[in-house]
Each structure stands twice: as structure tokens, then as C-alpha cells.
Amino acid sequence: MKTEHQTDTPMVEIRNVHKRFGDLEVLKGIDLTVNRGKIVSIIGPSGSGKSTLLRSVNHLEVIDQGEILLDGVQVNRPDMNGLAFERHINHIRQNMGMVFQHFNLFPHLSTIDNVTLGPRKLKGMDKKIARELGMELLDRVGLAEKAEVFPNHLSGGQKQRVAIARALAMQPKVMLFDEATSALDPELVEEVNRVMRGLAEEHMTMLIVTHEMTFARDVSDWTMFMDGGVVVEECAPEKLFSNPDQERTCNFLRKHLGDNH
């Protein structure tokens, strides 16, 4: 049954997106919609364009054609430039939390300061209120006791949980995850996955690029398999992982599901 958080209203719309790097066309007309409160995972071989697509959503890559919308507002605006575009994109980015493979925490800031920097600097949030919010988020990712610790004293899994708390501190409309667990030792993966599952239960809208097939299958409402810059197949994970339509999907899954399937 749908809750008020889960609707058929699009939160992220990717329409006919093309992106090239020089002669190499990396995205060849991608379409994908993530509805509010839904979790969509993107899987595919290395070099298929998954990160480029996710980075395009956040305008870390400038697309060559097509359009991307966040909650009905166009992200890419070829008609805008200069300061006007900078203001526009900063506003858009405040509504998207992005979590990368390599955490990208600020090494010179404590855990709590990493989490509160965005709300303070970008939203002008009062220091005390930002700290309360930051502590709440650190508690949510199980790291309240690490508030004053610097990133180099944290494990990879802890760093990634701080990175998630930092992204959440901006109270984003959508969270984008690019291989959030692939730089972690296997025993640290679950603590990050647990936090992501918690977000799913709270109906956070999420777009997740992952190599972890079991996680994608368990947590997603919808899965897209891409290869060579095109969407090969997209459907509910129950179908994609057990009975895909396309030969390319079968081959990929055969390689990546290994013995546990």
C-alpha cells in the first residue's frame, strides 16, 4: 500500500540525455524517472556510463542534449548562464544529497563540522540549531560519539556514514549514491547498507548506482540495467534479477550474481 510519501509524482526525470567526452558518446539517450519516495538502482558494467549519468543529474557533468528535472524544475538550463545559472544550480544542488565512493569528507573538519557546514554556510542556519540537527543525524547513522573526531580517525564505513549524514543535513529531496560501499572492506559494507535501508524505510527518494546485486534487489522499487550508454532493460528488481528479457542483462547477471544465485 502506498503512503503519502510514495506517489506516482516524478521527483527526478531524465529525458533523452546524451553526453559525450570528445569523440566518445557515453550517454546515448537515457530516459529514467524516479518517483517520489521510490528507490531506483542502476546497474551495469564498468564504463557503461552509470557515474556519468548520476553526475549529470547533479550537473557535475554538463549534458549535451536532453533534459533533467528535479521535482518539476529543470536542472540543466542551456538558456541560462553566468551568475543566474550559478544561483539556479546551487539552489538545485541543495535539494540533492550526493554520496560518492570515496567519501570526500573535509579532512580539516571534525565529524560534526563536516555535517553542519552545509546548513550553516548554504542555508545560513544558526550554529546551535545546526549542531542539534547534526547530532541528531550522527545519532541516526550511529556515530553520535564520534562528533568531535576528525575523518582520519574514522574507519571507511564510519566515514561513509558521516558522508551520508552530511548529505542529509541539507534535507534533500533526493539522495544520489554512486558506489557508496565499493571502496569499503567487506565487513564494513553492511553498516552502510543498514543506514541506506533505514532511509528507504523513511521513504527517502533514492537513485543508487551499485555493484551489489543483492542489495539492489532487496532495496529497490525499480532497477535499470545500462550498458554502452543505453538503457538495456528496466523493470521491477524481482523480474530483472530472476527473469530478464534481454540477453545482455542475462550475461551481466550471470557474471555478477555468481554462486549466490
51 contributes a contact to Mg ion by CB under 5 A: yes
- The residue among 222 and 225 lying less far from ligand ATP, judged by its C-beta, is 225
Q: Is residue 210 close enough to count as binding Mg ion by CB under 5 A?
A: no
Least Cβ distance, residue 239 to ligand ATP (angstroms): 22
Cβ atoms 195, 161 nearer than 8 A: yes
| Residue from the set 2, 3, 46, 258 that interacts with ligand ATP by CB under 6 A | 46
- How far from 201 is each of 7, 140, 243, CA to CA, in Å? 15, 13, 26
- The residue (of 60 and 149) whose beta carbon lies closer to Mg ion is 60
Rounded-to-5 percentages of helix, strand, coil across the chain: 40, 25, 35
**String of contacts with ligand ATP for each residue 18-37, x by CB under 6 A:** ---x----x-----------
Residue number with CB closer to Mg ion (51 or 249): 51
Q: What would you report as the CA-atom Rg of the chain, rounded to the nearest whole angstrom?
A: 18
Cβ 70 vs Cβ 173: under 8 Å? yes
Interacting span for Mg ion (CB under 5 A) from 2-10, 28-36, 45-53, 237-245: 45-53
Nearer residue to Mg ion within complex by CB, 47 or 78: 47
Beta carbons of 249 and 226 less than 8 angstroms apart: no
* Number of neighbouring beta carbons within 10 Å of residue 62: 10
Name the minimum Å distance from CB 179 to Mg ion.
Answer: 6
Instruction: Provide, rounded to whole angstroms, the least separation between the CB of residue 256 and Mg ion.
Output: 15
With binding defined as CB under 6 A, does residue 52 bind ligand ATP?
A: yes
The verdict on 78 binding ligand ATP (CB under 6 A) reads no
Q: Say whether 231 sits in a helix, a strand or coil.
A: strand
Per CB under 5 A, 111 contacts Mg ion: no
259 to each of 39, 43, 179, how far by Cα in Å? 26, 18, 22
Under the binding rule (CB under 5 A), the answer on residue 181 touching Mg ion is no
Q: How far is the CB of 12 from ligand ATP (least distance, A)?
A: 17
Cβ-based burial of 84 (10 A; exposed 0-12, middle 13-18, buried ≥19):
exposed
For Mg ion, the binding residues (CB under 5 A) are: 51
For ligand ATP, the binding residues (CB under 6 A) are: 21, 26, 44, 46-52
